[in-house]
Structure 1
Amino acid sequence: MSEPRPVSCWLTDMDGVLVREQKAIPGAAEFIQALQQHGRRFLVLTNNSIFTPRDLRARLLGSGINLPEDAIWTSALATAQFLENQAPGGSAYVIGEAGLTSALHQAGFVLTERDPDYVVLGETRTYSFEAITTAIRLLEKGARFIATNPDATGPSLEGSLPATGSVAALITRATGVEPYYVGKPNPLMMRSALNQIEAHSESTVMIGDRMDTDVIAGIEAGLRTVLVLTGSTKEDQIARFPYRPTRVVNSIADVVDLVGQLAPLPDHAETD
Structure 2
Amino acid sequence: MLADHDPDYVVIGETRSYGFASITTAIRLVEGGARFLVANPDEKGPGAEGSRPATGAVTALSERVTGRPPYYVGKPNPLMLRSALRALGTHAAHTVVLGDRMDTDVRSGMEAGTHTVLVLSGPSDENTAAQCPHQPDRVINSVTDLTEHVADPFRT
For Structure 1 versus Structure 2, the TM-score category normalised by the shorter chain is: 0.7 to 0.9
**Per-residue CA shift, 1:22-81, capped at 9, x if unaligned?**
xxxxxxxxxxxxxxxxxxxxxxxxxxxxxxxxxxxxxxxxxxxxxxxxxxxxxxxxxxxx
State the TM-score, normalized to the length of structure 1.
0.52
Q: Find 1:144's aligned residue among 23, 32, 35.
A: 35
- Indicate conservation of the 8 Å contact 2:109/2:116, yes or no: yes
SS in 2 for 1:245: coil
How do 1:120-269 residues align onto structure 2 when only pairs under 5 Å count? 120-256=11-147, 258-260=149-151
State the Cα distance separating 1:114 from its structure 2 match: 2.0
TM-fit CA distance, 1:222:
0.5
Counterpart CA distance in 2 for 1:188 and 1:250 is: 28
- CA RMSD, Structure 1 to Structure 2 (Å): 2.0
CA 1:249/1:137 → structure 2, altered by over 3 Å: closer, same or farther? Answer: closer
Structure 1 portions without partners, runs of 5+: 1-109, 263-272
- CA–CA separation in structure 1 for the residues paired with 2:151 and 2:92: 19
> 2:71, 2:18 → 1: CA distance?
20
Alpha-carbon offset, residue 248 of structure 1 = 2.1
Aligned length: 153
Superposed counterparts of 1:34-49, under 5 Å: none
Counterpart amino acid of 1:125? R
Report how far residue 144 of structure 1 moved.
Answer: 0.6
Distance across 1 between alignment mates of 2:115 and 2:76: 15
Q: Percent identity?
A: 58
- Cα separation, 1, equivalents of 2:22 and 2:121: 36
Q: Note if contact 2:13-2:40 (Cα within 8 Å) is conserved in structure 1.
A: yes
SS of 2:139 mapped into structure 1: strand
TM-score, structure 2 length as denominator? 0.85
Paired with 1:244 and 1:120, the residues of 2 have a C-alpha distance of 30
Runs of 4+ deviating beyond 6 Å = none
CA shift in 2, pair 1:229/1:136, >3 Å: closer
SS in 2 for 1:111: coil
- Structure number with higher relative contact order (C-alpha < 8 Å, ≥ 6 residues apart): 1
CA separation of 1:118 and 1:251: change in aligned 2, threshold 3 A = same
**1:157 counterpart letter in structure 2:** A
Unaligned runs of 5+ in 2: none
